[in-house]
């Protein structure tokens, strides 16, 4: 490896203990085939250690945290490409202050997560897991118990979303054939965008009161932490369902557990939790009106290939001295220190 190589590293959680890749569908061939560019893996550490990044230009980050203490003193690191769209594990403000671009992969997750949401909706309203368990009981469940678990039809029901950004919008597009009414609360979108999707924008209280299936499609920030609280949950219909595939702490988990235990709502589909993983004896797991998955419902070969391709595209853009796709902290593009990094990469790229 030449000292002037553009160095790309992946966080240690991309590899198994035996050194094999965890996700073979993440294709690194475009990076490995680029002249003057080297690819390696970091040792496992969480948060990522700054000393491991001193001579690195690009970091592709899976689940490990990147804090202000992860920033290397050399000032060489140019980009963090997150493997996904969540960025609560990255101190974006500190990265911007140190001329480091932070990229996410909206194109890679848009369809897979939207499909995961609809999977939860269909499983909950169709009582899929309950009927699976009944059938396994033999004759006593197959015939006698099924009358007590009628599913819920979707035509004319209301599908609501907290947020209609990248994933929320795709969810509504895919749900159009179901003949549902669409509602959303999103202070950052326009009526024009909502109208194009056939979505009516409403206030938060109306969203919770009127949704038959309520989905969480917003990022985790200080403002959205416990956005879904006991007061809002108490507004929901006893026949309604809530689905969270975004981030666990957006919902007050204790408040959700309580209302589910009291049958104040019909059920929940949860791919994310506060404090992952939950202990096996968590009260949520004792409820038959909850479907749970391990923050991986959208994980498919196509999902990981798409996310990986998006991260590779971001790294290659920086390598060529261009603005990367999926750039989160756009203000970095005008900072003199970052501009110098891009100029240096561009000059090395054309040699």
Residues 6+ apart with CB under 8 A from 152: 125, 126, 212, 239, 266
Say how many Å lie between the first and final Cα of the chain, rounded: 17
Which residue in the list 54, 93, 196, 276 is annotated as catalytic? 276
Contact 6, 38 (CB under 8 A): yes
DSSP track, 295-335: S-TT--HHHHHHHHHHHHHHHHHHHTTSPPTTBS-GGGGG-
CA 69 – CA 151 distance, rounded (Å): 51
CA distances from 310 to 3, 28, 99 (A): 27, 11, 21
Which residue in the list 98, 157, 295, 349 is annotated as catalytic? 295
Contact 111, 170 (CB under 8 A): yes
Q: Is the Cα dihedral 220, 223, 226, 229 positive or negative?
A: negative
Which residue in the list 111, 185, 247, 319 is annotated as catalytic? 247
> Catalytic site residue 276?
yes
Contact 346, 64 (CB under 8 A): no
Angle at which helix 301-319 crosses helix 336-350, to 10 degrees, equals 90
| DSSP H or E stretch at residue 10 | strand 6-10
Contact 248, 218 (CB under 8 A): no
DSSP track, 60-96: EESSS-B-GGGS-TT----EEEESSS--TTB-HHHHH
> Catalytic site residue 93?
no
Residues 6+ apart with CB under 8 A from 222: none
The distance from CA 172 to its chain's CA centroid, rounded to whole angstroms, is 17
* Best CA proximity match to 146, nearest among 158, 156, 128, 134: 134
Catalytic residues: 247, 276, 295
């Amino acid at each position: 490896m030449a000292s002037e190589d553009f160095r790309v590293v992946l966080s240690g959680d991309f590899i198994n203990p035996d050194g094999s890749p965890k996700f073979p569908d993440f294709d690194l061939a475009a990076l490995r085939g680029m002249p003057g560019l080297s690819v390696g893996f970091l040792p496992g550490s969480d948060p990522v250690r700054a000393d491991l990044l001193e001579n690195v230009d690009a970091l592709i980050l899976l689940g490990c945290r990147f804090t202000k203490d992860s920033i290397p003193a050399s000032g060489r690191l140019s980009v963090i490409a997150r493997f996904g769209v969540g960025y609560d594990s990255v101190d974006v403000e500190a990265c911007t202050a140190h001329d480091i671009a932070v990229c996410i992969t909206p194109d890679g997750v848009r369809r897979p997560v939207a499909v995961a949401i609809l999977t939860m909706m269909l499983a909950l309203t169709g009582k899929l897991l309950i009927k699976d368990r009944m059938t396994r009981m033999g004759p006593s469940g197959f015939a006698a118990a099924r009358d007590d678990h009628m599913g819920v039809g979707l035509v004319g029901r209301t599908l609501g979303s907290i947020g209609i950004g990248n994933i929320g919008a795709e969810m509504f597009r895919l749900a159009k054939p179901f003949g549902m009414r669409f509602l959303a609360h999103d202070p950052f979108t326009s009526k024009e965008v909502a109208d194009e999707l056939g979505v009516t924008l409403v206030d938060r209280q109306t969203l919770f009161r009127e949704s038959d299936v309520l989905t969480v499609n917003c990022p985790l920030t200080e403002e959205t932490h416990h956005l879904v609280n006991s007061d809002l949950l108490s507004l929901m219909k006893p026949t309604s369902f809530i689905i969270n595939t975004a981030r666990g702490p957006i919902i007050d988990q204790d408040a959700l557990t309580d209302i589910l235990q009291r049958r104040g709502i019909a059920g929940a589909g949860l791919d994310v939790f506060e404090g992952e993983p939950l202990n096996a004896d968590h009260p949520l797991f004792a409820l038959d009106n909850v479907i749970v998955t391990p923050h991986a419902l959208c994980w498919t070969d196509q999902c990981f290939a798409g996310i990986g391709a998006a991260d590779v595209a971001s790294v290659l853009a920086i390598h060529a001295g261009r603005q990367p796709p999926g750039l989160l902290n756009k203000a970095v593009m005008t900072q003199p220190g970052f501009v110098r990094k891009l100029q240096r990469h561009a000059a090395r790229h054309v040699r």
